[in-house]
Amino acid sequence: MPGARQGGAGLADTLRGAKAAFDSASNETGIQADEAQYDLDGWATLSGHAAVRYRGYELRADRIRYNPDTGDAEAEGNVVLVGRDDGSLWKGDRLATNLKERGGRADNVDLYTRPFRVLAADGAFFAPARTNQVYQIENATLTTCTNEPGHFHWCVTTRRARVRPGDDVTAWGVVPRLFGMPFFYYPYYWRDLARHYGFRFQPGYKHSWGPYLLGTYKLPVVRDKQTKAFIDSYTFADWRGDRGFAVGQKFAWEFGEDESHGYVTGWYMPKDDDPPPVIDPDKEERYRVRFNHYWNATDRDQVLMQALYVSDVRVMKDFFRREYREMTEPDNYATFTHYGDAFSAGLTARMRLNDLYGQVERLPEAWFELNALDLADTGVYLENQSAAAFLRCVFPEDSKDEDYDAFRADTHFLLSYPRKYLGFLSVVPRAGYRATYYDKTRISESHTELVTTVGTNDFDQVYSSTVEKTVTTEREGDAKLRSVFEVGVEVSSRAYGYWDAQNGVRWRHVVEPYADFNCVPEPNVLPEELYRFDSIDRIDEETTLRLGLRQRWQSRDPGRDPRERFYADAWLDFNLEAEEDEESFSDAGWDLRWYPEPWMCLQAKGAYDNAESTVDNAEFVLTTWLDIFRCDVEYRYRHERSSLLTGYLTWYPNERWGFDIFGRYEFETSQVEEVGGWIQYSWDCFALRLIGSVEPSYTNDAGQSEEEDWSITLTGWLTDFVPARILEEDNR
């Protein structure tokens, strides 16, 4: 380092050591410069590519005066201050700072602190708690736009701003501008840089709503980023031109690293100005209350809860369409699960909150599952599933069926002895026993009655006729213990071969034939003697055989990990106790998955019912995923119930434009259920999306006419603050 003054040897030695530290990328202290001069008062003047690093901060400029004892520094000419810990970047003409105290002041500020860019004539920064950096800036302009000043797509000008990198931005006297035009004024503005608090609006038009505006204001109730504890408040205010006003409130919480999260939300419309015909006209209120909670109490204990209460059977369909498609009827439950090394156990409560719906209630159910456990290293494995519950089947309030209930305790033991013979043949014999206790059973009694009908013929003559009719009545029976035995064996084998393709790809073909035999003798209590709640109560005599073949085609490109290209599982089911007029071949099934490319998958599943000579169910799913597009096409068939085709395609041809189309078509009724899409245009800093959809009129399963419904809405967001839900109607 040339130019050292007389008497600066001690300082020179210090700076030489600091330079070595800089060259070794030390995180403590380091300097570098083309030229350095040392003063007797403890200052050094660094010129030419000058840089000083101190504990995570790096100061660069054309010229820097630096005092290593006090930490003071004065920089001028292309000044850059980089905060490597918080990701901030400060540019200016002049800067006076103290690196030890982490504070200072600069002229002509151009600060980048993710994701904001802040510009001002001057500004100050400090960190009094020696934690996060704090920037105080007068007459600042804030934006996330990458254009040059004077050409921002959007920005806000402020009288005063405070920026805490990685934490939040606070500003006073805020004027937001869009393409340079001011359009509002905030006396006070605060923005969290991760949680996206503030206002959100969704304007649009919907045929069943009229013009509408949905508004949300989100603010923090508890915000502790160190412990990752958050409780957020969402306040809703909605206006629908043809339906009226509605309000709502939601509280959402998160604690720890996915340790616990949930929400409780309420939505209320005092009066629906245009209710659907199926709603009682005397009930003007529409509302919905929902609660969800997920809690990992420990590494082995989990709690799940959900509750939904609605004003009527149509409120979800009318105002919460996305949620309605996921859950057409409320499912209310609370579960606790404990996971052991070889078992799991828990409590489940399932109940009905609305009399509008039917439900099988479990009040509560205690259950236990034992994983396959090797008994004393004998090679014999034991499995068990046990449950005890008070069950009640309740019907909707307008149903003519009568509710019924019973206490049921069920346990199922299964022993298996997997063995391998000749190196390729796997044989797994098994034997099981299921005991089920019912505190009450069902007795059906039939008797004949003479029924006399009196009428008048075409000649106005009175006549009467008497016929015998069989009348079946049911009454409650005594408690019973049902015993069910079963025996079975599964036999399978595996073979594979390799071959090398000309392009260098190595292929592997795996073949796994298998057979599964199962026999269940007639139980001592038949299904017709039991109240039915689920599949356990329908267990009956059966002897079945399944013959199947699994195949896998796998490939390995040079220098890459192997991947599965094709998977196929096909099987035939036989009823070995078929009646004389029945065929022993009962069903066939298949499960296929094809990966022609790493970004594409085609799946096909289904079952064929031989007795009905028809496909009972089938589904075909095509999924593709790439950086610029994603496509899902799904076809689901259920015999005499549904034949639904759904799909969507999202395509981003470049950084600016995005397109999406989606639709659903029901072949069973030749009905287009919905078709729509969106167009999106993105600037570097914010995006706008125009969304439209149409639901043609149709007649529902109850024979009621549903009117055509179409909608169009416009929404937007800052690209650095993408909301969790694009549409506010999905955030209620």
Given pLDDT bands bounded at 50, 70 and 90, which one contains residue 38? confident
CA distances from 132 to 79, 85, 164, 230 (A): 21, 9, 7, 19
CA pair distance 193, 720, nearest whole angstrom = 9
Q: List pLDDT tens digits, range 363-405.
A: 999 999 999 999 988 999 999 999 999 999 999 988 888 899 9
Amino acid at 538: R
Residue 533: per-residue pLDDT: 94
Residue given tokens 């090797």 in the structure block? 374
Residue given tokens 């490319």 in the structure block? 597
Inter-residue contact 84 to 58 (CB < 8 Å): yes
**Looking at the predicted structure, is the pLDDT value of residue 26 above 50?**
no
Residue 25: per-residue pLDDT: 47
Residue 2: per-residue pLDDT: 39
Residue given tokens 């996330």 in the structure block? 144
CA pair distance 55, 135, nearest whole angstrom = 18
Residue 129 backbone dihedrals phi, psi, to 5 degrees: -95, 5
**Looking at the predicted structure, is the pLDDT value of residue 605 above 80?**
yes
**Mean of pLDDT values over 189-207:** 88
3-state SS of 49-71 is EEEEEECCEEEEEEEEEECCCCC
Residue 13: per-residue pLDDT: 54
**Mean of pLDDT values over 657-675:** 93
Q: List pLDDT tens digits, range 438-447.
A: 999 998 777 6
Residue 442 backbone dihedrals phi, psi, to 5 degrees: -115, 130
Amino acid at 463: Y
User: Which of 660, 665, 659 lies closest to 644 in space, CA to CA?
Assistant: 665
Amino acid at 497: G
Whole-number percent of the chain with pLDDT over 90: 54
Residue 132: per-residue pLDDT: 60
In which region does residue 150 sit, left (phi positive, over 0), alpha (psi from -120 to 50) or beta (all else)?
left
**Mean of pLDDT values over 614-625:** 94
Given pLDDT bands bounded at 50, 70 and 90, which one contains residue 84? low
**Mean of pLDDT values over 662-672:** 91
Structure tokens at 607: 């079952």
Q: Helix H segments across 305-405?
A: 315-319, 321-326
- Radius of gyration of the chain, Cα coordinates, nearest whole angstrom: 36
Secondary-structure class of domain 42-192 per CATH? mainly beta
Given pLDDT bands bounded at 50, 70 and 90, which one contains residue 561? confident
Inter-residue contact 252 to 291 (CB < 8 Å): no
**Looking at the predicted structure, is the pLDDT value of residue 60 above 70?**
yes
List all residues 6 or more positions away from 281 whose beta carbon is below 8 Å from its beta carbon: 275
Count the Cβ atoms, other than its own, within 10 Å of residue 316: 23
Residue 431: per-residue pLDDT: 97
Listed by start position, the domains of the chain span 42-192, 420-599
Inter-residue contact 330 to 309 (CB < 8 Å): yes
Using DSSP, how many helices (H) and how many strands (E) does the chain show?
3, 47
Residue 16: per-residue pLDDT: 53
CA pair distance 70, 57, nearest whole angstrom = 16
Structure tokens at 315: 């409120």
Q: List pLDDT tens digits, range 577-597.
A: 877 777 889 999 999 999 998
Residue 9: per-residue pLDDT: 47
Q: Of all helices (H) and strands (E), which one includes residue 13?
A: helix 9-23
List all residues 6 or more positions away from 201 whose beta carbon is below 8 Å from its beta carbon: 213, 214, 215, 216, 728
**Looking at the predicted structure, is the pLDDT value of residue 145 above 80?**
yes
**Looking at the predicted structure, is the pLDDT value of residue 458 above 70?**
no
CA pair distance 574, 585, nearest whole angstrom = 4
**Mean of pLDDT values over 539-548:** 95
CA distances from 229 to 43, 293, 294, 305, 543 (A): 46, 15, 14, 20, 56
**Looking at the predicted structure, is the pLDDT value of residue 628 above 80?**
yes
User: Which of 117, 163, 169 lies closest to 144 in space, CA to CA?
Assistant: 117
Count the Cβ atoms, other than its own, within 10 Å of residue 377: 6
Q: List pLDDT tens digits, range 306-338.
A: 999 999 989 999 999 889 988 888 999 999 999
Count the Cβ atoms, other than its own, within 10 Å of residue 537: 19
Among 443-452, 570-579, 701-710, the range of highest mean pLDDT: 570-579
CA distances from 178 to 258, 280, 374, 685, 687 (A): 38, 47, 70, 11, 13
**Mean of pLDDT values over 69-80:** 87
Amino acid at 548: G
CA pair distance 411, 265, nearest whole angstrom = 39
Residue 374: per-residue pLDDT: 93
